[in-house]
């Protein structure tokens, strides 16, 4: 078992602030940001002024419910800079999301936004166990994606030595990792696993590495996959969450007790809402995460619908932080598959597959429409390809996966076991669902 790093807190005053005081600070900042949006962004002015909403009218945090939501298409419709609140001369960095369809969503940062960003990442990486003694390799793609540069400046702020390898060129990644004695990696969970697999394939002994922590994020990671990454690399893994529209990484992150990801509530007001009624759900119940940025100057967003599903907790955490915590993202309202009336999240399938003997962590879900029926095929990679010739064993394994999936999903799936290394690998976010329903007639 990898060792749990010591519990450290970067900004004690803020991170352990009594909740009542934090709520006061949030209210003051909410009033401010509402007026800032009205005064500097035409889109918000047009939306809020006719409704009579302004900072002065907001008396409690619950009054946020009167503010209309902002959605991804609002950013696209105002592409590229239409929602920026700061003057062009005050914008010092521009990023864009990696969206697969339509125009990307573009975000701009002022100097104070970048300073805040580095501060929030400093908190998150400290919570995940990083210190100034670490050498941290950033395996996210440097570029328009917020992940790499976001983590970069926060890690430098705490004094860690950053190795900006970016993604790709796996063999070189591993060489630097070994030769530099890298102690931490920043990556997606799927890339962390891929790096371990590549090290094995290249016959680089794992004992040559000095890795101790993995600061993983940007895509879902079930506990089962986390355990697998930890035991393969012998590292302690924490998860951190964010999205480019509201900043990038830095919204929330695990502490070393991993009781949920601590939210940076002095900068983000996070609601968890029933996805049908858009009313708040009770503590611990799943709902859509909706975020209001409380301090952003470049592109502030009011009640941004993330489409991510999680649950919030407010009870005490052994680490001493008082912040609200988010459960691991269960999925997105838009990656939830509805198959024969059953809601299926890829993360549920992953939790069944990862940790089973004989199969790797790489899988793909293919959904088809056959006649009037939706079908789910789960393609899973074998660790040992020779099993494909041992029909009896193969069938037994297929049956076991099918039964385990049925008990978790309440749905029958076709299980296809494939040779090692035949499912596509991803250096950024893994794409695990292929939905062909609109293509089959």
Binding site for ligand DLL (CB under 6 A): 97-98, 146-147, 217-220, 239-244, 248-249, 306, 308, 329, 332
Nearest by Cα to 408 from 363, 352, 365, 354:
352
- Residue 218's SS3 state is coil
**Judged by CB, which is closer to ligand DLL: 5, or 217?**
217
**Judged by CB, which is closer to ligand DLL: 141, or 355?**
141
Q: Minimum distance from CB of 409 to ligand DLL (Å)?
A: 20
Please write down the HEC assignment for all residues of 155-206: HHHHCCEEECCCCCCHHHHHHHHHHCCCCEEEECHHHHHHHHHHHHHCCCCH
**Judged by CB, which is closer to ligand DLL: 330, or 368?**
330
Residue 277: burial class (beta carbons within 10 Å; 0-12, 13-18, 19+): exposed
CB 247 within 8 A of CB 276: no
**Judged by CB, which is closer to ligand DLL: 226, or 364?**
226
Q: Minimum distance from CB of 240 to ligand DLL (Å)?
A: 5
Give, to the nearest 10 degrees, the angle between helix 391-409 and helix 346-353.
140
**Judged by CB, which is closer to ligand DLL: 295, or 306?**
306
Q: Minimum distance from CB of 414 to ligand DLL (Å)?
A: 27
Q: Minimum distance from CB of 97 to ligand DLL (Å)?
A: 4
**Judged by CB, which is closer to ligand DLL: 106, or 378?**
106
**Judged by CB, which is closer to ligand DLL: 271, or 308?**
308
In sequence order, the 6+-apart residues with CB closer than 8 A to the CB of 212 are 2, 3, 5, 129, 134, 183, 184, 235, 236
Q: Minimum distance from CB of 323 to ligand DLL (Å)?
A: 16
Q: Minimum distance from CB of 37 to ligand DLL (Å)?
A: 21
Say how far apart CA 396 and CA 407 lie, in whole Å. Answer: 17
**Judged by CB, which is closer to ligand DLL: 319, or 329?**
329
Residue 177: burial class (beta carbons within 10 Å; 0-12, 13-18, 19+): buried
Question: In 234-339, where do the E strands start and end?
Answer: 236-243, 248-253, 261-263, 268-273, 287-293, 304-310, 312-313, 325-326, 331-332, 337-339
Q: Minimum distance from CB of 335 to ligand DLL (Å)?
A: 8
- Copy the structure tokens of residue 318: 């052994």
Nearest by Cα to 44 from 305, 304, 301, 306:
301
- Residue 135's SS3 state is strand
Q: Minimum distance from CB of 248 to ligand DLL (Å)?
A: 5
Kindly tell me the number of DSSP H helices and DSSP E strands found in the chain: 11, 21
**Judged by CB, which is closer to ligand DLL: 146, or 295?**
146
Q: Minimum distance from CB of 379 to ligand DLL (Å)?
A: 22
């Amino acid at each position: 078992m990898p060792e749990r790093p010591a519990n450290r807190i970067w900004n004690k005053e803020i991170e352990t602030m009594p909740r009542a005081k934090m709520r006061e600070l949030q209210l003051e900042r909410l009033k401010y940001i509402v007026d800032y949006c009205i005064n500097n962004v035409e889109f918000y002015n047009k939306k809020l002024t006719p409704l009579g909403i302004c900072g002065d009218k907001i008396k409690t945090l619950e009054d946020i419910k009167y503010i209309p939501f902002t959605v991804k298409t609002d950013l696209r419709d105002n592409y590229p800079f239409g929602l920026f609140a700061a003057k062009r001369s005050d914008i010092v960095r521009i990023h864009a999301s990696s969206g697969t369809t339509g125009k990307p969503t573009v975000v701009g940062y002022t100097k104070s936004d970048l300073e805040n960003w580095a501060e929030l990442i400093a908190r998150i990486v400290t919570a995940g166990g990083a210190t100034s003694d670490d050498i941290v390799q950033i395996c996210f793609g440097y570029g328009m994606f917020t992940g790499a540069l976001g983590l970069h400046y926060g890690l430098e702020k705490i004094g860690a030595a950053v190795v900006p390898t970016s993604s790709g060129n796996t063999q070189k990644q591993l060489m630097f990792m070994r030769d530099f004695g890298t102690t931490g990696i920043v990556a997606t969970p799927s890339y962390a696993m891929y790096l371990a697999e590549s090290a094995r394939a290249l016959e680089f002994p794992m004992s040559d590495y000095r890795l101790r922590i993995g600061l993983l994020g940007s895509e879902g990671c079930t506990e089962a996959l986390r355990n697998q990454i930890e035991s393969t690399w012998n590292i302690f893994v924490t998860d951190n969450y964010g999205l480019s529209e509201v900043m990038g990484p830095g919204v929330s992150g695990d502490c070393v007790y991993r009781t949920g990801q601590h939210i940076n509530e002095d900068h983000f007001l996070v609601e968890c809402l029933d996805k049908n009624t858009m009313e708040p759900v009770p503590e611990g119940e799943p709902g859509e995460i909706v975020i209001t940025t409380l301090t952003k100057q470049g592109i502030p967003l009011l009640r941004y619908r993330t489409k991510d599903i999680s649950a919030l907790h407010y009870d005490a955490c052994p680490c001493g932080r008082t912040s609200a915590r988010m459960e691991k993202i269960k999925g997105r309202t838009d990656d939830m598959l509805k198959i024969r009336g059953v809601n299926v999240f890829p993360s549920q399938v992953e939790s069944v597959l990862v940790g089973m003997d004989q199969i790797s962590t790489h899988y793909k879900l293919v959904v088809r429409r056959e006649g009037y029926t939706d079908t789910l095929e789960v393609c899973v990679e074998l660790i040992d390809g020779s099993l494909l010739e041992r029909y009896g064993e193969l069938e037994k394994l297929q049956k076991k996966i099918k039964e385990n999936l049925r008990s978790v999903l309440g749905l029958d799936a076709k299980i296809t076991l494939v040779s090692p290394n035949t499912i596509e690998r991803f250096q950024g976010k893994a794409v695990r669902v292929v939905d062909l329903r609109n293509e089959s007639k």
